[in-house]
Amino acid sequence: MTRLFEHALDAIAGRINFSTGLAQSGDFASTVEMFDRLLNAGEAAKQDEIVDYLQRVHRMPADAAQEVQRVYETLAYVRQPGRQPSWKDDILDQFRKKP
């Protein structure tokens, strides 16, 4: 994990409430936004690096740290190069045409 990624995790840890994890929509949204920015910049983390860092450096409870890790893993999965989309490109148009 790069120093840039660590700084981003520091910012996430400073923003979210450890006792509620990402239950607050603002905490969840800011975490998604930060990981989106990191992924757009080509940054990545290996499995469990996020949990390890947040627990070691910020003493974040395991369940909250794992929640943050899951958000990252989900976004990273969706953005995998060559991954086939789960939905057809025109899925919303199909829904709009339904009675």
* Residue 65 structure tokens: 């740290």
What are the beta bridge partners of residue 45?
none
> Which pLDDT score is estimated for 85?
82
Amino acid in position 41:
A
What are the pLDDT tens digits along the chain (99 aa)?
999 999 999 999 999 989 888 999 999 999 999 999 999 999 999 989 999 999 999 999 999 999 999 999 999 998 887 778 888 999 999 999 999
Total of domains in the chain: 1
> Which pLDDT score is estimated for 19?
87
Full residue range of the structural domain in which residue 45 is found: 3-97
> Which pLDDT score is estimated for 56?
98
- Location of structure tokens 């509620």: 20
* Residue 49 structure tokens: 């690096």
> Which pLDDT score is estimated for 29?
96
